């Protein structure tokens, strides 16, 4: 059995805990590797290494740090197919989707190539007579990233590209379900010229996470995962004096108005609901259809479902792969059963004719879902799209704003005025106008509202730079004996 271990101080380090977890091949349902789970002492070792590497990396000049990012950009680009196949072998997503993930992750490395510009502070000459004031951004020290299974390449890149470029050293605790990409990226970082110890990967579960949350030498934690864990990470980390950003789950609604192009809306709903088997935090899981177009829209979505090719990533034509584990597949399937019992209508049941062997489920479509039903309220995180019928734009908006989550949303309409009003009123962090998956480009920042984000700073982009730096303000005067005098008054400018 293939064993997967940690990456500490520029090399693979075998785990010593004796505790392991299984890494599955979701397309076959077979175990393909055994992952070492770290002890608290192993986490301490990684933190000590990162702490020792920090002073030199922090002092490395900006051009040199940018150069490492430029080299990394080239290496990831040259290895994009290998990274994509590595991640789809453990995650199950099809190759085209995996390549898209790598490309969107790479954008963040490209953004970090601009670090000399991004680290600029401000300068005010002559703030007082002979006195200048300026602000500088400095790295925090050792920072950690804890990432989910659904984007094993992109989400780590959201975090470590900016963190390292800012001069921090980094500990990554990837998802235990698809851990191999993180080690491949560690090797590429070394090849790019990052000194040993600046980037470390510690595999593990709650034991490793809890040690990172408690370790006095970890200054900040960037987390992406489900809402209950995000809340726990935020509360525990901040209680321990750390800076924390913790992104959580989602239930993204797409509001379709009667004037929308219904074919375009149906294409978008199908793509955004079933892409990556619905295991995306920006997946559309609820379509809000205004009554007058609801029947037509449901029909158009239903018609498109049989054409979706479900199967393993090894077949290049497939469009949707399996779910991450057998347990998760069964949980998602349980919602289809539950929906009928709750009074919703199962239009397409994804349990019918799902490919055998792996953790497959076909796309499901459920109509007449309502708040209060589990199928509507819960984040299902699978290929299950529900439709809720609403009387008006106002009712649709109210449902979105009353939802626990506020990650992404979309409106489909031809009316620019209504779209603008929606953008103004909606209580959600990322909004699409005729765009179903509005993941911001890397020079904006990614983050939801409400239970989708705990913390103040969004992920990557300008917020990422803010998160991984702290500001120092210097007030400076060059001595001029001609203006020197004893003055016990409070310094003032007028």
For 128-173, the three-class secondary structure string (H helix, E strand, C coil) is: ECCEEEEEEEEECCEEEEECCCCCCCHHHHHHHHHHHHCCCEEEEE
Residues 323, 25: Cα–Cα separation, whole Å:
10
CB of 206 to ligand NAD, least distance (A): 4
Count CB-CB contacts under 10 A for residue 76.
25
Query: Whose Cβ is closer to ligand NAD: residue 208's or residue 290's?
Result: 208
CB 142 within 8 A of CB 50: yes
What phi and psi values does residue 212 have, to the nearest 5 degrees? -60, -40
Residue of minimal CB distance from ligand NAD? Answer: 225
Distances 254 to 166, 375, 377, 443 between C-alpha atoms, Å:
37, 16, 15, 25
CB of 210 to ligand NAD, least distance (A): 6
Q: Tokens 């090797």: give the residue.
A: 187
Query: Whose Cβ is closer to ligand NAD: residue 224's or residue 288's?
Result: 224
CB of 192 to ligand NAD, least distance (A): 24
Active site residue ranges: 281
Query: Whose Cβ is closer to ligand NAD: residue 149's or residue 422's?
Result: 149
Query: Whose Cβ is closer to ligand NAD: residue 54's or residue 454's?
Result: 454
Query: Whose Cβ is closer to ligand NAD: residue 147's or residue 162's?
Result: 147
CB of 149 to ligand NAD, least distance (A): 4
Q: List contacts with ligand NAD (CB under 6 A).
A: 146-151, 173, 175-176, 205-206, 209, 224-226, 229, 247-250, 281, 379, 381, 407, 448, 452
388 CB contacts (<8 Å, ≥6 apart)? 286, 287, 288, 289, 368, 369, 370, 376, 399
In DSSP terms, 252 is beta-bridged to 284
Tokens of 333: 């399937």
Tokens of 315: 């077949």
Burial class (CB in 10 A: 0-12, 13-18, 19+), 92: buried
CB of 8 to ligand NAD, least distance (A): 18
CB of 189 to ligand NAD, least distance (A): 19
Residues 306, 363: Cα–Cα separation, whole Å:
9
Query: Whose Cβ is closer to ligand NAD: residue 147's or residue 388's?
Result: 147
Handedness of CA 470, 160, 285, 421 (dihedral sign): positive
């Amino acid at each position: 059995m293939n064993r997967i271990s940690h990456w500490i101080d520029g090399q693979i380090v075998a785990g010593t805990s004796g505790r392991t977890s299984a890494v599955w091949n979701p397309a076959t349902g077979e175990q393909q590797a055994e992952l070492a789970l770290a002890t608290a002492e192993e986490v301490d070792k990684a933190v000590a290494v990162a702490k020792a590497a920090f002073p030199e990396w922090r002092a490395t000049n900006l051009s040199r740090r940018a150069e490492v990012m430029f080299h990394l950009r080239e290496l990831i680009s040259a290895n994009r197919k290998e990274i994509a196949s590595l991640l789809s072998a453990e995650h199950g997503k099809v190759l085209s989707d995996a390549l898209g993930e790598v490309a969107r992750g790479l954008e963040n490395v490209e953004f970090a190539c601009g670090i000399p510009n991004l680290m600029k502070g401000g300068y005010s000459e002559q703030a007082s007579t002979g006195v200048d004031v300026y602000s500088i951004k400095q790295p925090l020290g050792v920072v950690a990233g804890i990432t989910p299974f659904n984007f094993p390449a992109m989400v780590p890149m959201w975090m470590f590209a900016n963190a390292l470029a800012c001069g921090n050293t980094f500990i990554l605790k990837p998802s235990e379900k698809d851990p191999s990409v993180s080690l491949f990226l560690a090797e590429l970082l070394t090849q790019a010229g990052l000194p040993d110890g600046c980037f470390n990967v510690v595999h593990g579960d709650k034991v490793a996470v809890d040690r990172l949350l408690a370790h006095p030498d970890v200054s900040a934690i960037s987390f992406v995962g489900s809402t209950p864990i995000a809340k726990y990470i935020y509360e525990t980390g901040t209680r321990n004096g750390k800076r924390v950003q913790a992104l959580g789950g989602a239930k993204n609604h797409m509001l379709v108005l009667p004037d929308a192009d219904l074919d375009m809306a149906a294409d978008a709903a199908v793509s955004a609901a079933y892409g990556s088997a619905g295991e995306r935090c920006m997946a559309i899981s609820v379509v809000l259809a205004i009554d007058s177009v609801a029947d037509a829209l449901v029909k158009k979505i239903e018609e498109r479902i049989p054409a979706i090719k479900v199967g393993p990533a090894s077949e290049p034509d497939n469009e949707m792969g399996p779910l991450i584990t057998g347990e998760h597949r069964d949980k998602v399937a349980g919602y289809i059963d539950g929906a009928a019992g709750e009074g919703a209508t199962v239009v397409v049941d994804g349990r019918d004719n799902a490919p055998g062997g792996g953790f497959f489920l076909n796309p499901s479509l459920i109509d007449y879902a309502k708040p209060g039903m589990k199928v509507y309220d819960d984040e299902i995180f699978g290929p299950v799209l529900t439709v809720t019928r609403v009387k008006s734009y106002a009712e649709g908006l109210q449902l979105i704003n009353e939802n626990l989550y506020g990650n992404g949303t979309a409106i489909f309409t031809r009316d620019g005025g209504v779209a603008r009003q929606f953008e103004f009123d909606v209580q959600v962090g990322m909004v699409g106008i005729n765009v179903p998956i509005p993941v911001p480009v890397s020079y904006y920042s990614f983050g939801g509202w409400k239970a989708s984000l705990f913390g103040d700073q969004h992920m990557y982009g300008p917020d990422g730079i803010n998160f991984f730096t702290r500001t120092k303000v210097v007030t400076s005067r060059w001595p001029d004996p001609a203006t020197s005098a004893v003055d016990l008054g409070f310094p003032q400018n007028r």
